[in-house]
């Protein structure tokens, strides 16, 4: 079966060829229209975002996320406001993972006729704009279109970094320490609980268990992108590589290792598994470690740091802490997870689009 | 019934408010993260594309077009290659209508599982890349995602213009001459013929009628954005206002007049109706004038020019000519079309998404 990443690799090769083949385009262009290229592609397709040199001393990073009803979300288990928030959040998370500062967004939305006749789209943009305003991200455009049945949302966010300072997946070296922000597992736990019929209480949170459940559900429905951490790690040159945990730690760590040509050893006892997940999951036959490793959608940042720089890391940014979970090894060591004295290969077990 | 343009107006007002309300975001941001805005919104949502000041002396224009299967195209009446071409073409056309030079594209594609298993997506990108390479447009990213049933494509293109020289819809003045590029009506004729079962012959074009039919069908299936004209009209400051004819001359001229606060009088005898449409439509009970006025998807440029500048217009750019079809009048005259000595109000009669 063909996977999305194979396709992206193939497309990247073709796009690179297209870029090199620019001479052809020049020769067929009208002589009135000299071909001048004022932006040059630096990375192209395949990292968390595309990067290109824009202004002198700056590079622009751009990311796109296509969200499709009944694949990425269900209309019945979220609200338009939360859906708008999440649509922007997933793209802001990609920009954070590049160590860049988000600047603007384009949000295209397709909805069927019956949804258009409600206030769904307005409420969705409420969610987009509230989150955008928190980070001074400008919503500069987007298309609205009719669909036959399902809602689709394409979320584009562009950000800016100092030239050469976007943090790629490919920069990890042997000996680097591996960190994650925040906590793991709640988003995946939330998805499974929603699938079993759980829903937000919100109103009546005197009850402590309801508060914990809401926290878990909101990690799925209203993820908070680590925008502040992304900017700090990029601008202070602290991270050697970075990715956001959208598909799950196991998949995303393997991506970093593959792009960097290295291996990794993480320690299961160091994983910052969400405490409320541990507490609630025991009663619900969910395995917190599996959720934290393979669950996805936590939208925390996974990044690597030279040991000498580890002490320069802030303890918290925007109230969110970090945890060292392991070390980058040589590629021949593979990507592994230890549990006490034993270590196993950590295979990608996260969400696959195809 | 709520229309798309009402919604866009409402959104623009809200986004403008959000921009002014920036102080709120600053006060909640971490003190480590001073909010600096390195790009400022100039136009925002509602023209052919959003415009913002980027580099000193330059402005960036960005447009998004969401194409949905069974709304904007049918899988059975086009090819993946042509669909890829058209997806990029419609956005290039918006950039041309801003008088800007296209630079890069982001193309997000959602397809159902069965389509993913074919070479559909690769062939679609063939069409995108062939057109992109013609204009040295870089494909810098995009997301691929699964859908439950229908294909969706979101096409983003960014271009660049000299600061203050993007050509808006709002710049037409009384006395300006109204021009269109190329010819009108074939794209709409093509759509109607395709709906009646016509398809491309391509292989065997000895027969003159087949050639003409293919020409008409290709105007629908493979529209050619007027990129060269857009650049010339923008860079030489020749157009006072501009729009691309995506929804039909009647709708799009009314948009220019409304944005500019003017009226217009066009002469039906001056409309450059496609000759092959006139020839074939007579036999097929289609009215060429109605197709040219209300049909849409010709993706020609409609622009206004000060009479003193009309002689400076090139005759052809990239082999495509232009035609003067009327004059901008005061708003009190309304938007009218003359046929001999008589004139009628020209109401928007083109395609509406909602």
| Residues forming a β-bridge with A323 | A180
| B32·A140 Cβ contact <8 A | no
Task: Test A64 with B104 for CB contact under 8 angstroms.
Answer: no
Q: What is the pLDDT of residue A297?
A: 95
CB-side exposure of B336: number of CA atoms within 13 Å?
15
Average pLDDT, integer, range A335-347: 94
Length of chain A: 354
ipTM: 0.81
The per-residue pLDDT for range A20-52, each reduced to its tens digit, is 332 232 222 222 222 222 334 444 455 677 776
DSSP for B99-138 reads: T-EEEEEEEEEEEEHHHHTTTHHHHHHHHHHHHHHHTT-E
Report CA-CA distances (Å) from B15 to A137, B22, B52.
Answer: 10, 11, 14
Closest-approach residue (CA) in chain A for B43 = A140
State the pTM of this model.
Answer: 0.85
Find all residues with CB under 8 Å of B342, minimum gap 6, and list them.
none
What are the φ/ψ torsions at residue A11 (nearest 5 degrees)?
Answer: -65, -40
Give how far B215 is from chain A: nearest CA, Å: 22
Q: What is the pLDDT of residue A82?
A: 97
Of A224-228, B13-17, B38-42, B346-350, give the lowest mean pLDDT range.
B38-42
Query: Would the CB atoms of B103 and A142 count as touching at under 8 Å?
Result: no
Based on the number of CB atoms within 10 Å of its own CB, is A153 exposed (0-12), middle (13-18) or buried (19 or more)?
A: buried
Distance CA A94, CA A152 (A): 19
Instruction: Tell me how far the alpha carbon of residue A188 is from its chain's centroid.
Output: 14
Q: Dump pLDDT digits (tens) for A232-273.
A: 999 999 999 999 999 999 999 999 999 999 999 999 999 999
Q: Which residues of B touch A62 (CB under 8 A)?
A: 106, 140-141
pLDDT band at A136 (very low <50, low <70, confident <90, very high): very high
The Cα–Cα gap between A149 and B14 comes to 28
pLDDT of A81-105, one tens digit each?
Answer: 999 999 999 999 999 999 999 999 9
Query: Do the Cβ atoms of A22 and B136 come within 8 Å?
Result: yes
Alpha carbon separation from A147 to A63, A128, A293, B198, B313 (Å, rounded): 23, 21, 36, 25, 41
Cβ proximity of B329 and B263 under 8 Å: yes
CB burial class (10 A; 0-12, 13-18, 19+) of residue B108?
Answer: buried
What does the CA dihedral A237, A238, A241, A247 come to, rounded to 10 degrees?
-120
Q: Which secondary-structure segment (H or E) carries A328?
A: strand A320-330
State the pLDDT confidence band at B5, using cuts at 50, 70 and 90.
low
> What is the reported pLDDT for B35?
23
Are A156 and A247 spatial neighbours (Cβ–Cβ below 8 Å)?
no
Within 8 A of B231 by CB-CB distance, chain A residues are: 33
Averaged pLDDT of chain A: 85
pLDDT of residue A210: 83
Chain A environment of B247 (Cβ under 8 Å): none
End-to-end CA distance of chain A: 8
| Chain B interface test: which of A136, A148, A163, A224 (most B C-beta within 10 Å) | A136
Q: Is A33–B231 a contact, with Cβ atoms under 8 angstroms apart?
A: yes
Nearest-CA residue of chain B relative to A57?
Answer: B55
- Around Cβ A269, how many Cβ atoms within 10 Å? 9
Q: What are the tens digits of pLDDT across the range B253-269?
A: 999 999 999 999 999 99
Q: Do A18 and B140 touch (CB under 8 A)?
A: no
Check CB contact under 8 Å for A103 and B39.
yes
Q: Are B61 and B158 in contact (CB under 8 A)?
A: yes
Instruction: Looking at chain B, list the stretches that DSSP marks H as alpha helix, in order from N- to C-terminal side.
Output: 4-20, 22-28, 80-97, 113-116, 120-134, 186-195, 208-221, 227-235, 249-260, 275-281, 288-294
pLDDT at A205: 60
- Tokens linked to A58: 């700056």
Which residue from B minimizes the CA distance to A48? B141
């Amino acid at each position: 079966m063909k996977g999305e990443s194979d396709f992206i690799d193939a497309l990247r090769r073709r796009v690179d060829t297209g870029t090199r083949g620019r001479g052809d385009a020049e020769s067929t262009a009208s002589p009135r229209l000299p071909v001048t290229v004022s932006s040059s592609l630096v990375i192209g397709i395949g990292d968390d975002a595309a990067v290109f040199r824009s202004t002198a001393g700056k590079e622009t990073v751009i990311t796109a996320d296509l969200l499709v009803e009944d694949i990425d979300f269900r209309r019945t288990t979220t609200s338009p406001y939360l859906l708008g928030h999440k649509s922007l959040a997933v793209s802001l998370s990609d920009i954070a993972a590049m160590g860049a500062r988000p600047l603007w967004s384009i949000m295209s939305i397709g909805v069927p006729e019956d949804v258009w006749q409600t206030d769904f789209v307005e409420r969705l943009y409420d969610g987009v704009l509230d989150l955008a305003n928190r980070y001074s991200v400008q919503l500069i455009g987007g298309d609205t279109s009719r669909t036959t049945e399902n809602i689709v949302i394409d979320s584009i966010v562009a950000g800016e970094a100092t030239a050469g300072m976007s943090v790629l997946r490919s920069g990890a070296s042997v000996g680097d320490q591996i960190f994650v922000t925040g906590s793991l597992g709640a988003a995946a736990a939330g998805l499974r609980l929603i699938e079993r019929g759980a829903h937000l209480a919100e109103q009546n949170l005197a009850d402590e268990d309801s508060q914990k459940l809401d926290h878990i559900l909101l990690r799925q429905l209203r993820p908070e992108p680590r925008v502040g951490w992304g900017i700090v790690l990029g601008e202070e040159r602290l991270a050697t590589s970075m990715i956001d945990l959208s598909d799950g730690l196991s998949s995303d760590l393997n991506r970093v290792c593959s792009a960097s040509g290295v291996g990794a050893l993480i320690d299961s006892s160091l994983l910052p598994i969400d405490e409320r997940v541990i507490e609630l999951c025991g009663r619900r036959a969910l395995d917190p470690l599996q959720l934290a490793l393979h669950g996805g959608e936590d939208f925390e940042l996974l990044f690597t740091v030279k040991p000498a720089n580890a002490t320069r890391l802030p303890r918290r940014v925007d109230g969110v802490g970090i945890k060292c979970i392991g070390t980058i090894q040589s590629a021949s060591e593979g990507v592994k997870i230890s549990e006490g004295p034993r270590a196993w290969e950590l295979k990608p077990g996260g969400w696959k689009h195809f």
